[in-house]
Structure 1
Amino acid sequence: MRFASLLRPSKLAADAGHSTAKPGHPAWHGLAACIVLLGLNVVLFPKHWMGLTSFTYDFVMHYYAVVAYWMSSVAAGEWPHWVPYQALGYPLAMNLQSGIYYPPFWIFPIAGIPYDFHAANIFQIIHVYAGALGMYCLARTHFKSTFMGFLAAVCYHLYGGFFTNAEHPDIIRSFSLLPWLFWAFLLGEGPEIILYIKGFSYNLRIIYRNFLIPPLLYLFIVGGYPGCMIAGMLCLFVFVLVQTVVAIVRRQRIGAFLDAAVLGGLTAIGIGMAAIYLLPGFRLSGELVRADMTQSLLRWYLNPTQLGSLFYTSVGLGPDISMIGMQIPVVVAVFLPFVRRSDLTRHCPFLVVGAVAAVMCISSLEPISSTLMAIVPPLSYSRFPAGDYRTLLYMAVLFLALSGVNNLRRSPEPLSLRHLIILAAAAAVVLVGGILYLALAIPDAAAAAFAFALLLQVATLTMMLAVLAVLVRMRRMPARQRLAFSLMVPMLAVVSAWPVLDSMSSFWKTPLPINVYQWNGVPDRLGNELHSASIFRQHLTERPARLPAPHPHNLSWRGYLTGEFMITDLTGSQSKSQAAVERNTALQNFMMQPSGFLAFDCAQIACDQREINGLNMNSTAEAVDVTLRTLSFARNSIVHEINLPRRMLVVENETFAPGWTAKINGTGARLEPVRVDGALRGWVLPAGHYKLSTSYQTPLMQSGAGISLAMLVAWLLVVGLYAHARRSARTVLSPAMARTAAA
């Protein structure tokens, strides 16, 4: 039997789902929503679009510089395996936040567009817009309503995390991709296809959007923040699990298990597609200091008081509000009293995900989350649960609030005085809650900003109640009443959110930091190219002396842009080699020198070990009969002239990392380095006069690339097989999907 013959519609499905069923959402609805959301994006970020302001703090520091560096590298035709200019030298693959495998970034080097500060800002703004579009697709599919999809997109575009966390581009990319992932993991309502096996028929709810899981998951893994990736993977697993349990409760047992198996297979393909990023990162993770202290890392949780940032400004709720911003527009939040019991069932997967996120990110529930981390160790890699899980908590509360809006909007009963009283009571709760926060939780330094934002929120709620009071008098014109209601809520949602976001403006907009770079003689561009492009035209015979760690205002990360050799880097991912140097004054002095060597007689030390410790780094670098000289110093390779009278250990003043190898005169077997004093690169070399060519290749990169390519081919084959099977079997859409075909 051909595979395609296993997939065919049942007679009932065929009769009920004739192709005469028309989509409930005309294409122009989606186009109009995209245009309006783009307009909202421009209104929120006008000076960012024009290049007059920038996102703040870390955004213009290491985050910008490392991307500009590798873009210049690949544009010059050189893969940046090793970065010699920062932190004494390190493998780029060890920096999981570089974004080098994130395809949208490659538009810049391929198209020859300089990735300057202005371009970096626009790139992030577009991701905020893309996140809103993802929420539009998710909510429109889930609520089966274009309006609800649009309102959800407006709220998500105003999500506080996009603003308070704007300094961290990888976290913003994670926030942007999360709605898309949940949309892709959302199963169809009814049986999409009927699978016949050995006389039994099974209803499957797998649809085309589910096959977007692999590429979306790939983007989420390689482009997002690793902590958000861990949080997202856990919550997506819970999301699929709850959908499966709900289907089993509805007596769709075998079909539910098959659906879960397909989603699991697509997830595995997506993870496999990211192997080129994951395998080298996993191999090099042991080189990080934090690898030995994962369980003891200080974690950043939301305390119960900070949950107020779901509705109020985050100003005053903590010394650093970057990890706590959420902010559902209060105009939408006041509709929570209209949530029905049936909504809890309808949103069950999202609510359970929100509950899991709450357990993982709220400080008072830390004993439970710590137990889960002990059971599932990868969960402990999340250092900032507050930042990693809050979006999922936000989405659960947002969907409940949207349900209240939807229930009132679609109710057969016109707006009445009773509805107005309930909304007024909810607005009063917002006011009283804000006053209590102001009196009990907000420090004096932030009281004025918090009070002003609260005042404008209450003013917007008062305006909404006034408009609703007018609409109540239009009871005999329900169509106009509903239209006016639908226009009012999104507009006032923006109005109520703006003062909250503006009160936190120091975290997402500041005058362009070009002055900081220009003061230090490091502009982001030199003519029509990036400043960092000049690095790859340099040809060094040896490495010059390294520079001491300057104050961050003096651009301690400027080596990415200028080619200067810095001993530090502005990142929390410190390597063990760098940490070992910082603990040893003799190593520090040795590493600060230009390219240099120390030679030790193997007759006096045990050379045949992978690690050698306790050497005297203050000894003379060269004996009378020893010649050690650097002939060529490049980023991924170094060539030395070696002249040794006997077998010796030659130690470079360069850091050790897995992936370095060497050849003598370019021939013979590759030599592996030994780790010296926990930090340095040492070579056990034979007697003789020759050239030693050392080179760096990212560990497991080729294996990862092969797996990624194989998974990409597997995904294309699966999509093609599914499409062919549906066409061959002439499978029709179920009635439920006919109503959401546009999704």
Structure 2
Amino acid sequence: MHLIHPADERVRPTPLADRVAWLRRLSGRRWFRVAVLAGLVAALEVLVLEGWIRGARVPPWDFLGAYAQEAYWWWAHGGFFDPVSWIPAVRGGYPSSLSLQNSAWYLPYGAVAAVVPLTPWALAFLSAVHVAFGSVGAYLLVRRHGVSFLAGLFAAAGWFFAVGAFSNAEHPDIARGYAWLPWVLLVASTRWPWRRWWSIPVATLVLWQATSGVYPGMLVAYACIGAVWVVLQQVQSRARFADLLLPLGIGMVAALLLSMVRLLPYALGNDLSGVRAPDASEWSWSMLLSLQFGYDYGFYPNDISMRSFFIPAAVLLAALFARPGSPLTRLGLGILIPAALLGLPLFPWFDALQQLPGLSLSRFTMSDFKVFMLFGVLLLAASAVDGFVRHRAPLPWQRTRVAAAAAVVVLLAVGGLLARIDLRDYALTLAVLVASAALVLAVSSGRRDLAALLIVGVVASGGLWAYSNRGPWRTDRVEAELGRFDGLVGELVAATEPQAGDRRPGRTPLPADVDLDGIRSTEWNVAYYTGEAALGGYLNLKGNTYFEALRSAISEGDRAEQLLAFLSRPGTAITAAAFDEGCAEEACGGVRVTPVAYEPERLEYELQATTAGAVVLNEPYYRGWQAAVCAIDACATSAPTATDGLVTVDVPEGESRLTLTYATPGLGTGWLLFWAGAVIAALAPAILWFSRRRRAGPDGRGEIDA
């Protein structure tokens, strides 16, 4: 008989105590891992993107064009629940709903705009945040698919240097496509915690904001490859309908409905029958050199922002050692291969694919699908690193993989020589490439103690590449703003005063000898910040019939000079007959105009017409204009027509009051659909809970699998 002291009874572990202790240890590990991940991402942000964060540097070129100005105007002069309908700043004015790339409805921009104006500094800071966001998303995606902590950090570092964040920094919506991709793939997987009450609302938020913030052409690629991803997830996990397809479908429907407040006005207000430019993607085998080398050489095709296929050396080489049978290996190949087949113009079916629904929306199909090719390589590399750490058994075809890694190094060096690249400029790049190859070979051969150095290799390769190719993503902010706008944007915004009055002010006229390039110059876009209005300016409404008609009329039509003069006047109207005779001002207009009230989307005039007939206003015509004409005895409402791209309205003889209002087509219906999506997302947890309760067995433990 063994006696137990009462004190020993009190300290004896119990199952509950064991559970609590285990949770404490687990919680400690989790917080440690969170701290390490946060430290890694924060360190990379400071080392690589500190210029964006401090405001000393910003992306160049298009970043300082309409991307920045439209976002500033939409959030400064309206906002989420009071959206701007008409923007008068450039090209005579235009509906905000027709610009899908203006960052309207995109909540990260709205959150910053609630604190500070969306100046280029603020937008560059947001770009840096998106790079970190994408890096964390890559970590979570691979970790949720069962890889080790080290492999997760490897993926986070690799996707921090996702090529689009740098080469496409001038195009925020394309760069955002790289940041949102791992999050979208995560919520479209069985590894998303669909049984949590918050899973569908958060998934809806992710899908909705990705739809709002990503370049439209990339969204088509998201849809195509995303469908493949979901099929792979379903086949790989054999999940029940209620475990993936049902909640994901609910989230997708809710996200689509939330997006209708943006997409429906675009569809209803647009006439896309205009000529669309053919796809501009070109392929050259020399582009494989951009896997490691710079991409500003003349022998590359395509725009400089669309050329690079850079992958950090350690990621590129580790992908060759992906472990067969790993879920990430299958998923990586599952998105890499179809993305290449659909996106690379080297295949004979590329042109035919452009006829498929949606694929003709973008002129840069290769760039749209490239993000999936590169992310597929990252998944293969994460699978390999996880195998290095967890498995001692040698990989099948190990010698073949080693030979392939060596061949990659040799072919890149030889290719650089054949392309007449001065390899002396890339001595460090080649050194990091060779060192990464040696490290990958060592770790794959059993030196697991060196695996952590793979992350160092990723950072070295990515950082060296980024700073060796600074032009596309980094320029001095002050110099850029002064050179583009003759002033600092923050000061211009602070000095802006509201323009009050009963008549629309005149627009900044164009030079007499201006050509199309002069009209499209971004120098006129300063009007977004000053509150003035301009006839010129860079604006991307390509394919819109009304936009193209007015552009053609003022740049190459017989009445170009007359139209420019008429549009530059303060708000007014002349008879259609006077307009046909070349009149461009009230003095010869055949109608007396007395302004009554003005807002950007609403103009009101007292008219005195000698005869009944049509009058032409110096406002660009787009779908959505509504005219109310009130004479002494009656009022009539009508939809204006277009004359050479200008609003035209029929008025009676004598005195009348004309009220011209721009109402965004479909906005009311869009809001109804938006709130329907919000209700679905909010009620989805309860719906699924009742559904699961109904399917549960008598003992409440769920269905019995056969």
Task: Say whether the fold is shared (TM-score over 0.5).
Answer: yes
CA drift at 1:258: 7.5
- Tell me, yes or no, if structure 1 residue 698 matches structure 2 residue 664: yes
SS at match of 1:26: helix
CA drift at 1:390: 0.3
CA drift at 1:487: 2.1
Please give the per-residue CA displacement for 1:628-682, whole angstroms capped at 9, x wherever unaligned. 24344431111212012332101012111111112235994433211123x1100
Corresponding position of 2:557: 584
Corresponding position of 1:661: 626
- Tell me, yes or no, if structure 1 residue 457 matches structure 2 residue 433: no
Change (3 A) 1:688 1:281: same
Corresponding position of 1:437: 415
Distance 2:163 2:657 in 1: 58
- Tell me, yes or no, if structure 1 residue 675 matches structure 2 residue 645: no
Please give the per-residue CA displacement for 1:48-102, whole angstroms capped at 9, x wherever unaligned. 2222211111112221122222232127997421122211221111111111111
Distance 2:602 2:192 in 1: 57
Distance 1:278 1:405 in 2: 42
Q: Which moved more, 1:90-99 or 1:714-723?
A: 714-723
Q: Is the 8 A contact 2:103 2:212 kept in 1?
A: yes
Q: Is the 8 A contact 2:315 2:377 kept in 1?
A: no
AA aligned to 2:178 is F
Distance 1:19 1:187 in 2: 28
Q: Is the 8 A contact 2:141 2:182 kept in 1?
A: yes
TM alignment of 1:150-165, pairs within 5 A: 150-165=153-168
Change (3 A) 1:189 1:126: closer
- Tell me, yes or no, if structure 1 residue 714 matches structure 2 residue 680: yes
The CA RMSD over aligned residues, in Å, is 3.7
Change (3 A) 1:722 1:313: farther
Q: 1:642 aligns with which of 586, 607, 611?
A: 607
Could you state the TM-score of these two structures normalised by the residue count of structure 1? 0.80
Unaligned runs of 5+ in 1: 1-17, 194-205, 476-480, 605-613, 735-743
- Tell me, yes or no, if structure 1 residue 557 matches structure 2 residue 525: yes
CA drift at 1:340: 3.5
Corresponding position of 1:300: 281
CA drift at 1:212: 3.2
CA drift at 1:461: 4.4
Distance 2:369 2:424 in 1: 28
TM alignment of 1:192-341, pairs within 5 A: 209=199, 212-246=202-236, 255-256=240-241, 259-286=244-271, 291-294=273-276, 297-316=278-297, 317-318=300-301, 320-341=303-324
Q: 1:353 aligns with which of 330, 335, 338?
A: 335
Corresponding position of 1:14: none
Corresponding position of 1:104: 108
Corresponding position of 2:88: 84
SS at match of 1:390: helix
CA drift at 1:508: 0.7
Corresponding position of 1:544: 506
Distance 1:401 1:572 in 2: 38
CA drift at 1:401: 2.3
Q: 2:145 aligns with which of 135, 142, 159?
A: 142
Distance 1:389 1:402 in 2: 20
TM alignment of 1:493-504, pairs within 5 A: 493-504=458-469
Relative CO higher for 1 or 2, CA cutoff 8 Å, sep ≥ 6?
A: 1
Q: Is the 8 A contact 1:53 1:511 kept in 2?
A: yes
Distance 2:344 2:484 in 1: 43
Distance 1:380 1:21 in 2: 55
AA aligned to 1:597 is A
Change (3 A) 1:185 1:117: same
Corresponding position of 2:362: 382
Q: Is the 8 A contact 1:350 1:395 kept in 2?
A: yes
Distance 2:387 2:175 in 1: 32
Q: Is the 8 A contact 2:323 2:329 kept in 1?
A: no
Please give the per-residue CA displacement for 1:123-169, whole angstroms capped at 9, x wherever unaligned. 11001110111111111112333222221111000111111100011
CA drift at 1:464: 5.0
Question: Alignment identity in percent?
Answer: 21
- Tell me, yes or no, if structure 1 residue 569 matches structure 2 residue 537: yes
Distance 1:635 1:470 in 2: 66
Q: Is the 8 A contact 1:81 1:696 kept in 2?
A: yes
Distance 1:552 1:619 in 2: 23
CA drift at 1:618: 4.2
- Tell me, yes or no, if structure 1 residue 489 matches structure 2 residue 454: yes
Q: Is the 8 A contact 1:556 1:568 kept in 2?
A: yes
SS at match of 1:127: helix
Corresponding position of 1:407: 387
SS at match of 2:525: coil
Corresponding position of 1:117: 120
Please give the per-residue CA displacement for 1:2-38, whole angstroms capped at 9, x wherever unaligned. xxxxxxxxxxxxxxxx999977972431342123212
Q: Is the 8 A contact 1:597 1:653 kept in 2?
A: yes
SS at match of 1:505: coil
Q: Is the 8 A contact 2:519 2:536 kept in 1?
A: no
Corresponding position of 1:10: none
Q: Is the 8 A contact 1:598 1:617 kept in 2?
A: no
CA drift at 1:542: 3.7
Q: Is the 8 A contact 1:67 1:98 kept in 2?
A: yes
Distance 2:332 2:441 in 1: 33
Please give the per-residue CA displacement for 1:377-406, whole angstroms capped at 9, x wherever unaligned. 222112101221101011112212222222
Change (3 A) 1:236 1:219: same
SS at match of 1:364: coil
Distance 1:585 1:389 in 2: 43
Q: Is the 8 A contact 1:239 1:350 kept in 2?
A: no
Corresponding position of 1:530: 493
CA drift at 1:299: 2.7
Distance 1:220 1:308 in 2: 31
Distance 1:518 1:731 in 2: 70
SS at match of 1:556: helix
Could you state the TM-score of these two structures normalised by the residue count of structure 2? 0.84
Please give the per-residue CA displacement for 1:531-565, whole angstroms capped at 9, x wherever unaligned. 5x725344363431442165888713222122333
Change (3 A) 1:465 1:132: closer
Q: Is the 8 A contact 1:41 1:129 kept in 2?
A: yes
CA drift at 1:587: 4.6
Unaligned runs of 5+ in 2: 1-18
SS at match of 1:641: strand
- Tell me, yes or no, if structure 1 residue 428 matches structure 2 residue 428: no
